[in-house]
Structure 1
Amino acid sequence: FNLNNIGKCLYKQHEYKQAMEYFQRSLNIARKVFKQGDNYIDMGITISNIGKVFYREKKYADALKQYDIVLKLLEKAGLTEHIDLAYTLKNIGEVYLDLLNFDLALTHFNQALAMYKKIFGEKKQRNIAKCLNLIGQVYYYQNADQYNDETCFEYFNKALDIWSDVLPHNHPDLALCYKNITLFYLNRKHDSIQARKYFTISYRIYKSILSDDHCDLIEMRNIQQMILKSEQQTKLMMIIDTIRLI
């Protein structure tokens, strides 16, 4: 539906209130079509978009409610292995990740990943990379230990490998993955040299596609300050170690 596409454009611009208006109008049309036939997928797509708006607005219960409706519609359509089902499972996982319910987040991400792999096979595909990146985030946000750190880094790199092959060099998903690896090196490995390396790539991409006041660029500037602080601490420790040797 054209209204749905307009809503998507507004959503990408973070105009969530206006996006919701278009999604609701699109849903009203879809319901009329639905009465004339089993148009489950069209309805599901629109309801899923409404769920995404609720998710961005941090109305998690409302988002989960919409996603549950989508799951039931897809079940009615007999779509047990479908890209929209995988997408919905991924969306549910994102809600649980925000709620810090890591077990449920990981369960839904793994279900989505398995379904995407069944659909696309061995093909490198951006949605597969998205799930890999999200699984990496689950392990990153859990308690730091050797297993979580190694697993987190492994998933981030798998995502980066796919995205690097299938996306334009200035795509925001690439910037996100480089940012995640930056934070991994900074907060898990305390390696400011590697952190700055990945930060530079991520920041360059965000800078080329976003306005200066965009929330992602603001976050990157905050990360830059964290790296500077880490570098200063490293230099200070080197000075202290040198003095001890004198």
Structure 2
Amino acid sequence: MGAVYMHMGEYSKALSFHEKALEIYEKTLPSNHPSLATSYSNIGAVYMHMGKYSKVLSFYEKALEIYQKTLPSNHPDLATSYSNIGMVHMNMGEYSKALSFHEKALEIYKKTLPSNHPDLATSYNNIGAVYYNMEEYSRALSFYEKSLEIKQKTLPSNHPSLATSYNNIGMASYSTMDYSKALTYFERTLDIWQRTLPANHPHIKTVKQSIEICKGSIKK
């Protein structure tokens, strides 16, 4: 039921159900049982949607502690846990910590997944986003492009995730003052969004503005 309420956006009810489940698990299971880790992660995810990042961190770290004690060092659940914690630090503006956790996740994914796996694309994108927020735009670009390379091999040409990648590369390219490259990627973004989103969607308005700004910068 907690998951159902979560999907409905009723976070207080979701939290209540997950907390009741946790209470039972804490009374009946060993302290390092996988179900406890799942329960901590579920509660963390609800707090994430509520924007209560310090609480998210607390529960995600409890889950990670169990995973580190009970799973092999290259287990996918560990990678997910590292990635989750990285996202929290990112949202809190703690970019060095975010980078550290995302890099740990990437290390596991590279060892255990095929080179064109979607989780690898997500991991590269996460690291790119951290570098972008740190204003290290060339590094951001490098990781965004690695993410895009996987998506281009595995997704249909008008997939929304491709548009997100194109937009990210456009923004990073603009920030490195490569305005022509930025324009190319913003135009690719617009092409997909015009085919897949309603005409009045704010994403379309935003990328059109980005295109005009690029054109203005190229003329200067």
Whether the TM-score (by the shorter chain) exceeds 0.5 is yes
The offset of 1:23, in angstroms, is 5.4
1:152 corresponds to 2:136: no
CA contact (8 A) 1:160 1:174 kept: yes
2:4 to 3, 6, 14: 6
1:196 to 170, 175, 183: 183
For 1:7 and 1:157, how far apart are their aligned partners in 2? 37
1:141 corresponds to 2:158: no
For 1:48 and 1:103, how far apart are their aligned partners in 2? 22
Q: Give the structure 1 partner of residue 167 of structure 2.
A: 179
CA contact (8 A) 1:31 1:43 kept: no
The offset of 1:207, in angstroms, is 5.2
Structure-2 change in CA distance of 1:21 and 1:156 (3 Å): same
For 1:108 and 1:212, how far apart are their aligned partners in 2? 38
Q: Give the structure 1 partner of residue 108 of structure 2.
A: 115
Q: Kindly provide the amino acid, as one letter, of the partner of residue 218 in structure 1.
A: P
The offset of 1:219, in angstroms, is 4.7
Q: Give the structure 2 partner of residue 104 of structure 1.
A: 97
TM-score, scaled relative to structure 1: 0.72
For residues 93-137 of structure 1, give each alpha carbon's deviation from its aligned partner in whole angstroms, at most 9, with x where no partner exists. Answer: 1222223322211111110101122222x4421111111111112
Q: Give the structure 2 partner of residue 165 of structure 1.
A: 153
Structure exhibiting the larger radius of gyration computed from Cα positions: 1
2:66 to 64, 67, 73: 73
Runs of 4+ residues over 6 Å off in structure 1: none
For 1:133 and 1:181, how far apart are their aligned partners in 2? 10
Q: Give the structure 1 partner of residue 78 of structure 2.
A: 85
Number of aligned residues: 219
- Give aligned-pair identity as a percent: 26
For 1:9 and 1:209, how far apart are their aligned partners in 2? 23
CA contact (8 A) 1:40 1:74 kept: no
For 1:134 and 1:199, how far apart are their aligned partners in 2? 20
SS class of match (2:73) = coil
1:44 to 37, 42, 48: 37
CA contact (8 A) 2:189 2:207 kept: no
Gaps of 5+ in 2: none
2:209 to 211, 225, 235: 225
For residues 63-98 of structure 1, give each alpha carbon's deviation from its aligned partner in whole angstroms, at most 9, with x where no partner exists. Answer: 111211211232343453322221111111122222
Q: Kindly provide the amino acid, as one letter, of the partner of residue 205 in structure 2.
A: R
CA contact (8 A) 1:109 1:134 kept: yes
For 2:18 and 2:39, how far apart are their aligned partners in 1? 7
Q: More deviation in 172-181 or 131-140?
A: 172-181
Q: Kindly provide the amino acid, as one letter, of the partner of residue 80 in structure 2.
A: Y
For 1:81 and 1:8, how far apart are their aligned partners in 2? 29
TM-score, scaled relative to structure 2: 0.80
The offset of 1:55, in angstroms, is 2.9
Structure-2 change in CA distance of 1:42 and 1:160 (3 Å): farther
For 1:220 and 1:169, how far apart are their aligned partners in 2? 18
